[in-house]
Structure 1
Amino acid sequence: MLRARAPRSFPGALRRGLTFWRRSIQARVVASTVVLCALVIATMGWLLLQQIRDGLLDRRVDAVTHEVAGEIVEVDDLLSQASGQEDASVQRGDIVDVILDRASTRGYGVVVAGPAGEGVRIAQGGTSSSGDYDLASVPVSLEDHFQTIGAARAWTYADLGTLDDQGDVVRHEPGIVVGSQISLPADGATYTVYFLFPLEEQQSTMDLVTRALLTAGGLLLVLVAGVTWLVTRQVVTPVRMAREVAERLAAGRLQERLRVSGEDDVARLATSFNQMASNLQRQIRQLEELSRVQRRFVSDVSHELRTPLTTVRMAGDVLHDARRDFDPVTARAAELLQMELDRFETLLADLLEISRFDAGAAVLDLDDVNLVDVAHRVVDSTRPLAEQHDVRLRVLAPDHPCLAEADVRRVERVVRNLVTNAIDHAHVGGVDRRVGTADVVIHVAGDEQAAAIAVRDYGVGLAPGESAMVFNRFWRADPARARTSGGTGLGLSISMEDTHLHGGWLQAWGRPGEGSQFRLTLPRHVRHPLRQSPLPLVPEDAPEPVR
């Protein structure tokens, strides 16, 4: 079980970590500060270690070179005192023993090689040494330097090997090798003495300094991280509180405010934020009250006008029925009165419907509705209006039903508004370039998820940006143009409210001089989310835009 969970938990932890990294300013600031401080501390520590190492080595080199110079002087004095002896081998052995004994008591090693100038190498034998140092510790470059008689004293860094009792190298340590030549007066030969000085103390000092710097650097990074966390917390915490309050304000809790403490910049920001929230709350409440008064006014006026309208309607009907007994001018006035009364009643009905939407009192009477039947019924009811304005209607629908769960009365009202709007904006002589037989074409389609009706006209069209404004209340694309269908300017707004009530889409497309298309899309089941429409919003016969 544990092996099966591990692959799933790691990506989840990684995603949570990345989410925390993206969302937390505090974490990014702390991490950036720690990384930068680590780079600075590492650079400074490296430079400090280099200076300490160079200083220790320089002092050690000076000390060993002075010590070697003193040893050589003492050896030369011993050689001068023994120059009168006749046995050269005894003289050389005594001098070598003295050098080796002095080396063993002073903590360094000595290798005596020679004679010089004969090509004899240390590895070939004939070499005396003290201590447990490997003869190979003497660098070949230094050995080559002393192959010539009279070579000057020289030194170099080397890796000193230490031998065990069996003669195997068991340890390597850094050191300094100093070489100098001496001459034996008895046989006139020149020998090279190599002094091997280990750097154990200097290495220990460097290790101690390195540990101290690492410890101090680590503690400093922890301290910097803590200080940065505390400092950023003082700045980020008010920002987080402001974000939470802003989210609650956006959710409608307008009474939320930030807590103000102190007089610094953050406190002043909180005060300004609270003042802004108070102003927004006051303005929103004013707008809500104004909207409520407006809706109540519209509702009250619509209801109050029904009583006098009924009386005027009765009188108008009497005058209209008796218009044949009037003179032509009075008869025409009676006809105009009847037409305007019809329009006034339609306006009142639309205002009452809008007021119901504003009050949230609109409800649906749901049933399975076939949009094909709806399209034919709307065309039949609007055909007299279309013929009156020389506009021909045509329905393009499939043979099978296009069903949607909807309120049939509201859906028919939406489609009727779209068709009458198309008749109102269709120019005489407009022709469907695809079928060639109608000025206004109603397309119907459906699938398992949705059903749609699209109303296409070839009239004045819509300018850029007007496809969204066309559903505003009382909005008209051309205020100077008179209405031919007697609309109130609320039809498309009511249609949009009806569509939203079903959870559907009502969209518009148009181009100037190329007509427009309005598409109603309803979910197969009410309020199910829509992902696509069975009909395209841009008609297939729309010409390509000029680029």
Structure 2
Amino acid sequence: MFAGLRFTSLRLRLVVVFALVALTAAVSASGIAYWLNREAVLTRTQDGALNDFRQEMQNRAATLPLRPTEEELRRTAEQMAGGSAGYSVLLLGERDAGKPIAGASNPDTFTLADVPRALREQVETERPVTDTNAYPYHLFWQRTQRGGTPYLVGGTKIDGGGPTGYMFKSLEAERADLNSLAWSLGIATALALVGSALLAQAAATTVLRPVHRLGEAARRLGEGKLDTRLRVSGTDELAELSRTFNSAAESLQKKVADMSAREESSRRFVADMSHELRTPLTALTAVTEVLEDEQDSLDPMIAPAVALVVSETRRLNDLVENLMEVTRFDAGTARLVLDDVDVADQVTACIDARAWLDAVELDAERGIMARLDPRRLDVILANLIGNALKHGGSPVRVAIRTEDGELVIEVRDHGPGIPEEVLPHVFDRFYKASASRPRSDGSGLGLSIAMESALIHGGSITAANSPDGDGAVFVLRLPQDADADADTDVGATAAGERGEVEES
């Protein structure tokens, strides 16, 4: 029944708070009204009956002889009860000393047994007459119940030895009136509760509509729709909040636009720089190849310098190619050229081309086919295996298997593993695992390009340490049938294609 009810919603909380406040106010007001009316009704009835009874005692009971007969007491009690006050009367006297007699207006309704003992003791007690007490006997009363019906019992004694009189009045009519009042107040409380719920709903709708619009605008802003703005109306706090949101959104849009412009400018600069460097690099590469061919005939004094020039030229060429590849990924122009390949043959070719056969153990069955980009797979494998050989240590084990339509290639080394603080950053661009090696043979782009190449296939690469503490484990997952965005490639040569591997 309440499965769809969200107890954490602001609307529900507003309704509940309104209802609780209204309920508290209505119950308090109804309780106070009932108590005041109850006291007023009972006090009015009680005072009227007691005053009438006192007057009847003075007018009638006081005129009885000192030793009245039972008939005189009965007749007088009937006369006293015959008024409009509507109570029964019981008169007590003495026929002789120590011989009490009683006369009741209605013996079936009211007898001495209906008078509480405590009240009788108070009525019969004679008090000394002083400056502050002019009479030895007073009128006392008490509310009591008989058979579930409330009654008022009052009594007093005539001064100078006259009879003692008691009155007995039913309060059933007053109780019925008070019950009707209680029902009326209960209905009023229920109506107030319903009204408060409706008012709370209306208030919640009025208050939450701008909040909902604000939440929707924030969601659109989070989705990248930076031109989202709120319509501002009024001068209240919600209007001020809307103005603040619009100001923040405008500032964010401007900053994002500036950052996008700077990023585009940087990307264009890197791309242009890479293209501009390719022409002199081509010439340098041709020169270094000639020098490398003539290295054996060179003067031994300049041979090391020539070897250094050849090595650094190749390193610079690989860096430029990697930068161009990264630029293609950032610009979204990198494409896949898909082909059906035997994965084991592809991995073997990658290892053989780089002369790693002696250092790599291959665990793969022939015949595992996948539709992917062979060149980009070669880039990924070259970087993962080369990184394991350089930083992990031999032997490096490469295992190939399929799981639920995915191609899984696991590269495991037997080195010291990857420090825990480094694991989250191994695929970051230009990240160096050790600050003591700011300059190394690699550019820090190899694993980043490998990850991008996996992602463009719809796959991923994860890095972790071996559970037994013996080396690191890189796991490449690719769909066996990758979907290409286009069937043409931009024609770039990524890192690893020429046998050079970038350091993570």
| TM-score, with structure 1 as normaliser | 0.71
1:442 paired with 2:398, answer yes
SS at the partner of 1:355? helix
1:175 paired with 2:151, answer yes
Tell me how far apart the structure 2 counterparts of residues 337 and 179 of structure 1 sit (CA, whole Å): 130
Deviations 1:14-44 (A, max 9, x none): 23222xx423x23312321321331243234
1:16 paired with 2:4, answer yes
1:198 paired with 2:154, answer no
SS at the partner of 2:333? coil
Q: Verify the 8 A CA contact 1:116 1:149 in the aligned structure 2.
A: no
Tell me how far apart the structure 2 counterparts of residues 37 and 501 of structure 1 sit (CA, whole Å): 61
Deviations 1:159-179 (A, max 9, x none): 467xxxxxxxxxx64331335
1:393 paired with 2:360, answer yes
Matches within 5 A, 1:156-305: 156-159=142-145, 173-179=149-155, 194-200=166-172, 202-203=174-175, 205-207=177-179, 209-210=181-182, 213-214=185-186, 217-218=189-190, 220-221=192-193, 224-225=196-197, 235-305=207-277
CA RMSD of aligned residues (A): 4.1
SS at the partner of 1:477? coil
48, 57, 65: which one aligns with 1:80: 65
Give the unaligned 5+ runs of structure 2. 96-101, 126-136, 484-504
Tell me how far apart the structure 2 counterparts of residues 526 and 127 of structure 1 sit (CA, whole Å): 115
Using the TM superposition, give the Cα deviation of residue 497 of structure 1 relative to its aligned residue in structure 2, in angstroms: 0.7
Q: Verify the 8 A CA contact 2:71 2:103 in the aligned structure 1.
A: no
1:521 paired with 2:477, answer yes
Aligned to 1:99: 77
Give the unaligned 5+ runs of structure 1. 1-9, 84-90, 118-125, 162-171, 431-437, 528-547
Aligned to 1:499: 454
1:509 paired with 2:476, answer no
Q: Verify the 8 A CA contact 2:18 2:200 in the aligned structure 1.
A: yes
SS at the partner of 1:310? helix
SS at the partner of 1:520? strand
SS at the partner of 2:64? helix
Tell me how far apart the structure 1 counterparts of residues 341 and 482 of structure 2 sit (CA, whole Å): 11
Aligned to 2:409: 453
Matched residue type, 1:15: A
Q: Verify the 8 A CA contact 1:454 1:520 in the aligned structure 2.
A: yes
Q: How many aligned positions are there?
A: 462
SS at the partner of 1:258? coil
Change (3 A) 1:191 1:499: farther
Quick check: 214-223 or 145-154, which moved more? 145-154
1:37 paired with 2:22, answer yes
Tell me how far apart the structure 1 counterparts of residues 219 and 44 of structure 2 sit (CA, whole Å): 69
Tell me how far apart the structure 2 counterparts of residues 192 and 398 of structure 1 sit (CA, whole Å): 120
Tell me how far apart the structure 2 counterparts of residues 405 and 306 of structure 1 sit (CA, whole Å): 32
Change (3 A) 1:215 1:369: same
382, 389, 393: which one aligns with 1:423: 389
Aligned to 1:360: 332
Aligned to 2:419: 463
Change (3 A) 1:400 1:159: farther
Using the TM superposition, give the Cα deviation of residue 47 of structure 1 relative to its aligned residue in structure 2, in angstroms: 3.8
Q: Verify the 8 A CA contact 1:109 1:129 in the aligned structure 2.
A: no
Tell me how far apart the structure 2 counterparts of residues 293 and 379 of structure 1 sit (CA, whole Å): 39
Change (3 A) 1:45 1:328: same
Query: Matched residues, percent identical?
Result: 29
Change (3 A) 1:402 1:50: farther
350, 367, 383: which one aligns with 2:322: 350
Matched residue type, 2:312: E
Change (3 A) 1:110 1:181: farther
Aligned to 1:531: none
Change (3 A) 1:260 1:500: same
Change (3 A) 1:99 1:114: closer
SS at the partner of 1:328? coil
Matched residue type, 2:42: L
SS at the partner of 2:478? strand
SS at the partner of 2:233? coil
Tell me how far apart the structure 1 counterparts of residues 435 and 48 of structure 2 sit (CA, whole Å): 105
SS at the partner of 1:342? helix
SS at the partner of 1:16? coil
Tell me how far apart the structure 2 counterparts of residues 351 and 99 of structure 1 sit (CA, whole Å): 122
Q: Verify the 8 A CA contact 1:177 1:196 in the aligned structure 2.
A: yes
| TM-score, with structure 2 as normaliser | 0.76
Q: Verify the 8 A CA contact 2:75 2:105 in the aligned structure 1.
A: no
